[in-house]
């Protein structure tokens, strides 16, 4: 699957945000690599727009900076009374589309995404920080969620809430796209 203009725009936002966050904190690439667990070379490639990271890499970067994933996909949170028409972006090389609907807001403690898994795609997620809770609501198709080593089948309209500070995952074993809303709640930071 090739890159298109939306992919390039997401890469530019990622690059700009990562550079700005490092500058705000006075971190070198080496320091950022230490706190995120992502190599200095990879961070440099992302900042220069030369590499598309995986979603797992984006989560490690966000976690190392103490931020939500949406902080790297959006330039700024939308005001509370704003209608959001978020584009469905491919933020990484993974076979999934992500629409950051509401960026992380410290006053509310959550961020909300619409996620679409392409047919046959499996996404295994490393544990988030202690206290993080995910809420998943299937809006189209069917998918499976990995919790405690068991894949739980969910159909359109089904929902599940779980502690995300343990390994978990999502997979689409069907031949059609599967979409879900993913609300990620963070404990007070």
User: For residue range 66-91, what is the model confidence (pLDDT) as tens digits?
Assistant: 777 777 766 555 555 555 555 555 55
**pLDDT at residue 65 above 90?**
no
Tell me the domain boundaries of the chain: 5-73, 96-185
101 vs 84, more confident: 101
79 vs 121, more confident: 121
CATH code of the region 5-73:
1.10.260.40
pLDDT band at 189 (very low <50, low <70, confident <90, very high): low
Q: How many CB atoms lie within 10 A of CB 35?
A: 15
Q: How many CA atoms lie within 13 A of 71 on its CB side?
A: 21
**pLDDT at residue 1 above 50?**
no
The three-point CA angle 53-60-123 to 5° equals 65
CATH superfamily of 96-185: Jelly Rolls (2.60.120.10)
* The predicted structure's pLDDT at residue 3: 41
**pLDDT at residue 143 above 80?**
yes
Residue percentage of the chain with pLDDT more than 70? 83
* The predicted structure's pLDDT at residue 6: 52
């Amino acid at each position: 699957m090739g890159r298109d203009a939306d992919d390039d725009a997401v890469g530019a936002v990622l690059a700009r945000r990562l550079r700005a966050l490092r500058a705000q904190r006075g971190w070198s690439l080496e320091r950022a690599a230490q706190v995120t667990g992502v190599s200095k070379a990879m961070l440099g490639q992302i900042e220069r727009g030369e590499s598309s990271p995986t979603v797992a890499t984006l989560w490690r970067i966000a976690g190392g900076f103490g931020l939500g994933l949406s902080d790297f996909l959006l330039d700024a949170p939308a005001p509370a009374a704003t209608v959001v028409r978020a584009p469905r972006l491919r933020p990484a090389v993974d076979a999934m589309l992500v629409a950051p609907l509401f960026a992380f807001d410290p006053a509310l403690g959550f961020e909300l995404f619409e996620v679409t898994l392409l047919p046959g795609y499996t996404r295994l997620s490393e544990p988030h920080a202690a206290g993080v809770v995910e809420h998943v609501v299937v809006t189209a198709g069917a998918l499976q969620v990995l919790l405690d080593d068991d894949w739980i089948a969910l159909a359109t309209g089904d929902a599940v809430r779980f502690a995300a500070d343990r390994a978990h995952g999502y997979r689409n074993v069907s031949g059609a796209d599967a979409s879900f809303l993913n609300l990620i709640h963070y404990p007070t930071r």
